[in-house]
Amino acid sequence: MGIIDRACRNHAILYSAAIILRLVIFTFPSVADTFLQRVEFSTPVTSYKRLTEGVYLYDSNVPPYDGGLFHQAPLLLSIFSFLTSIPNYYTIPLLYSLIDIVTAHTLYRIKQTKPPPTPLSTPSSDNDSNVNNVKEENNLTLEPHVVAALYLFNPFTVLSCISRSSIIFSNLSIVMAILCSQRGRQSMSMVWIAFATYLGLYPAMLVVPLVLMQPSSKSMGMVTTFIISVIGLLGISRWLVGSWDFIKATYGVILFLSDLTPNTGMFWYFFIEIFDQFRSFFMVVFQFHAFIFVAPLCIKLRHQPLFTITALCGIMSVFKSYPAVGDTALFLGLLPLHDELFKYFRYGFLVTNIYLYSSVLAPIFWHLWLYAGSGNANFFYAITLVYNLGSVLLLIDMIFSVLRRDYDIENPNAIGKHVVQK
């Protein structure tokens, strides 16, 4: 009982501190409104400002998708139509803060539920350094509440909450899908990932690794549940707004990039500069590139579907058409679930500095471009490339680490040694 009481007390302190931090920042409207308008946190498909404008049109019985400004799912319209009618400033901030708490607690449960990794075997040689490496790695584990804390107090997570980006609904759906799949609740897992797909399209790539978490006999039923759930959500949306126009305005914009508002991704600047006759070809190439990694990762790492999901979330944060810092927050939140790989990371210091460097310079270059008039779009685009370079390096490091650890498990005498592939 003492252990349980201590765990509950730790949870209460952790989650209370996280909520208080967010609500304190929300008490400064100028700060909150600044982040609400930052392109690093709000994209055309996740912007809270655009969402409120869509809600206003919806409440005024004006088709919200006619003006080409609103690009979010109809279910968000109905939810926020109700929430914004509540005459209390803290309703929305409290909702977003609580969603962050639920997401963090879900990560806590995922860490608890995750099977322990295969331990490294002690090398047969008498090399003390190799034996120490094994002991060090087997003792290096993060407690579940540390995983939750790393997500809650990550600046990317906090600022995404303050910006009121709707990406947090997608992030919550993804982690809930993972937890349900871990616990053998296949149908609920598919419903949650269907909702994430409904909100942002790209989470559909996570269906395959979620299916790999279950016995192969369940695969067809899970895929069927996913398809039915997506169709059901689309049908409810058609009933809410009275037409199918939302499909072109939401998924059409994501696929064909009709809104070239700057963001942290690599699409917008390229498609501003490209000639129209080449646009269709490169659009197919860019979108295909976002999904092409699913097959090789799921084949090579089919016995580690949770790691595959983490890697695919990192790929989404780089290669989707409208990425935001909230996508990276989820990627970094899932990373501590794989603490057995930390010993193998090679670029941790470099990646950390790249994130810090780009986070500081991005708003400066944005100001130089749009306000000071002493820069151009290349300034901001260049720093977003540096930011994405950090995520790509982290992805490379992760995949190297998991492959090297698998090799060390099969070859204990190679632990701590440089391996040359011939």
pLDDT of 90-120, one tens digit each?
A: 889 999 999 999 999 999 999 999 988 888 7
More confidently predicted of 416 and 274: 274
Q: In this predicted structure, what is the pLDDT of residue 357?
A: 94
Is 422 a domain residue?
no
Tell me the residue length of the chain.
422
String of DSSP letters for 322-357: S--HHHHHHHHHHGGGGGGGGGG-S-HHHHHHHHHH
Helix (H) / strand (E) element for 385: namely helix 377-410
Tell me which residue of 270, 282, 258 sits closest to 378, measured CA to CA.
270
**Arithmetic mean of pLDDT, 71-88:** 88
The answer to whether the beta carbons of residues 40 and 324 sit under 8 Å apart is: yes
131-155 pLDDT tens trace = 555 555 555 688 899 999 999 999 9
The answer to whether the beta carbons of residues 340 and 329 sit under 8 Å apart is: no
Which distant-in-sequence residues (6+ apart) come within 8 Å of 276 by Cβ? none
Which residue type, as a one-letter code, is found at position 87?
P
367 Rama class: left (phi>0) / alpha (psi -120 to 50) / beta: alpha
For residue 128, which phi and psi values (nearest 5 degrees)?
-65, -35
Is 260 a domain residue?
yes
Is 420 a domain residue?
no
pLDDT over 70 at 123, yes or no:
no
Tell me which residue of 206, 159, 177 sits closest to 310, measured CA to CA.
206
pTM above 0.75, yes or no: yes
Which residue type, as a one-letter code, is found at position 186?
Q
Q: In this predicted structure, what is the pLDDT of residue 311?
A: 96
291-347 pLDDT tens trace = 999 999 999 999 999 999 999 999 999 999 999 999 999 999 999 999 999 999 999
Is 342 a domain residue?
yes
Q: In this predicted structure, what is the pLDDT of residue 421?
A: 59
**Arithmetic mean of pLDDT, 173-190:** 95
Is 78 a domain residue?
yes
Domain containing residue 378: 2-414
Share of residues in the chain with pLDDT > 70 (%): 93
For the chain, what is the radius of gyration of the CA atoms? 22
Is 197 a domain residue?
yes
- What span, in angstroms and rounded, lies between the C-alpha atoms of 269 and 315? 19
The answer to whether the beta carbons of residues 323 and 262 sit under 8 Å apart is: no
**Arithmetic mean of pLDDT, 361-382:** 89
Is 25 a domain residue?
yes
**Arithmetic mean of pLDDT, 64-69:** 86
Tell me which residue of 296, 280, 236, 294 sits closest to 73, measured CA to CA.
236
Is 127 a domain residue?
yes
Which tokens in the block code for residue 67?
């003006």
Cα 87 versus chain centre, distance: 32
Residue whose tokens read 């944060």 = 317
pLDDT over 80 at 419, yes or no:
no
- What span, in angstroms and rounded, lies between the C-alpha atoms of 86 and 92? 9
Report how many domains make up the chain. 1
More confidently predicted of 250 and 415: 250
Give the count of beta carbons closer than 10 Å to the beta carbon of residue 388: 20
